[in-house]
């Protein structure tokens, strides 16, 4: 692809803000679609580094609004669609809004792309669509198994995207990251939950189940995956995993974080943080051979060594008092 005008939906969020920064630094003309709010906040883009700030356009709107989405997409070559509701526990509480945001929001992007003739759309999936691993590493051929309303809406969004490629020959691809982590991540995710509690002075860490395993992928590896995917014609109509090639339990993740931060901690199980038994995804471990074959992606923060390096960078960011102040580590966030 030679197109260089890129719209990022969900650009104000965790992964979206890192991706926006990387795109700007790579020389793309970037438009950031952020969630409208009355204070005109751009989320994490408010804190863009000096070499990025002022070098991207911002459009505020709501991914659930087809008119606003289509207007934001006008004149853009590529759409990297990250806008979504992602918290699994909150999807038990409010599944309706997950359908509206994740499914209908994706439909709005696809319909607008079809009308406008957008040259590439990359839709964001999640490893949660696989459910507990039936075999490892989990390849793209693994059965889909929604164990939460969140996962069900992401499967729906993925299938909509692929159906538009098959039905209308739209240049759509689906990228499926495994458990991204790093600076700026929401406290509803397990790694920032642990780090923020420790950084706030607690040595009794409240968590849910410690036995599930995850394939944690550092955020810059995920962001680079989006860019490499959108530049790869062979990825059209494909689903592609990206992950670290390293599997670790939540319990061992606590130990690794405590070691990185130089503290000793005790884990206290909080019943409110446990998923319903049949909803807990017990094992995730990515197979990434397809990403390497299609567009040459491999993790720079791969394996245990990469995971430890990523944890150190993440912990350092959270330990900055200005960053930690944005989190309420003493409260459980659905």
**Segment-wise mean pLDDT, segments of 10 residues, the chain, 334 residues:** 83 98 97 96 96 98 98 98 96 97 98 98 98 98 98 98 98 98 94 96 95 98 98 98 97 97 95 93 98 98 97 97 91 77
Q: Is the pTM of this model over 0.95?
A: yes
Structural domains of the chain, with CATH = 5-178+218-244+285-302 (3.40.50.720)
In sign, the C-alpha dihedral spanning 150, 153, 158, 159 is positive
Whole-number pLDDT of residue 332: 82
Residue 221 burial class via C-beta count within 10 angstroms: exposed 0-12, middle 13-18, buried 19 and up: buried
In sign, the C-alpha dihedral spanning 69, 25, 2, 172 is negative
Whole-number pLDDT of residue 3: 57
Token pair for 26: 């790579």
**Residue among 37, 3, 31, 36 nearest 19 (CA):** 31
Whole-number pLDDT of residue 207: 95
Give 287-327 as a DSSP string. Answer: --HHHHHHH----TT-HHHHHHHHHHHHHHHHHSHHHHTT-
Whole-number pLDDT of residue 1: 45
């Amino acid at each position: 692809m030679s197109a260089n005008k890129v719209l990022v939906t969900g650009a104000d969020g965790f992964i979206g803000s890192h991706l926006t920064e990387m795109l700007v630094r790579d020389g793309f003309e970037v438009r950031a679609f952020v969630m409208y709010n009355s204070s005109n906040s751009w989320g994490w883009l408010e804190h863009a580094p000096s070499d990025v700030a002022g070098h991207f356009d911002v459009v505020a709107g709501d991914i659930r609004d087809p008119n606003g989405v289509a207007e934001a997409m006008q004149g853009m070559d590529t759409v990297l669609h990250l806008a979504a509701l992602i918290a699994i526990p909150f999807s038990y509480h409010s599944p309706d809004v997950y359908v509206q945001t994740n499914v209908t929001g994706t439909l709005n992007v696809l319909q607008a792309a079809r009308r406008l003739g957008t040259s590439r759309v990359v839709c964001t999936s999640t490893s949660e669509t696989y459910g507990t691993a039936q075999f490892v590493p989990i390849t793209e051929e693994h059965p889909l198994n929604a164990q939460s309303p969140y996962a069900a809406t992401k499967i729906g969004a993925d299938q909509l995207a692929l159906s538009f490629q098959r039905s209308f020959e739209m240049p759509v691809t689906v990228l499926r990251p495994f458990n991204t982590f790093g600076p700026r991540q929401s406290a509803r995710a397990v790694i920032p939950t642990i780090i923020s509690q420790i950084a706030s002075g607690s040595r009794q860490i409240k968590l849910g189940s410690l036995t599930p395993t995850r394939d944690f992928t550092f955020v810059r590896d995920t962001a680079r995956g989006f860019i490499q995917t959108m530049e790869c014609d062979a990825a059209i109509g494909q689903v592609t995993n990206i992950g670290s090639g390293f599997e670790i339990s939540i319990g061992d993740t606590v130990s690794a974080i405590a070691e990185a931060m130089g503290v000793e901690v005790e884990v206290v199980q909080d019943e409110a943080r446990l998923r319903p038994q049949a909803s807990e995804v017990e094992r995730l471990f990515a197979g990434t051979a397809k990403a390497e074959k299609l567009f040459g992606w491999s993790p720079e923060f791969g394996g245990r060594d990469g995971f430890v390096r990523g944890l150190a960078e993440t912990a350092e960011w959270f330990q900055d008092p200005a960053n930690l102040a944005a989190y309420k580590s003493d409260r459980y966030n659905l």
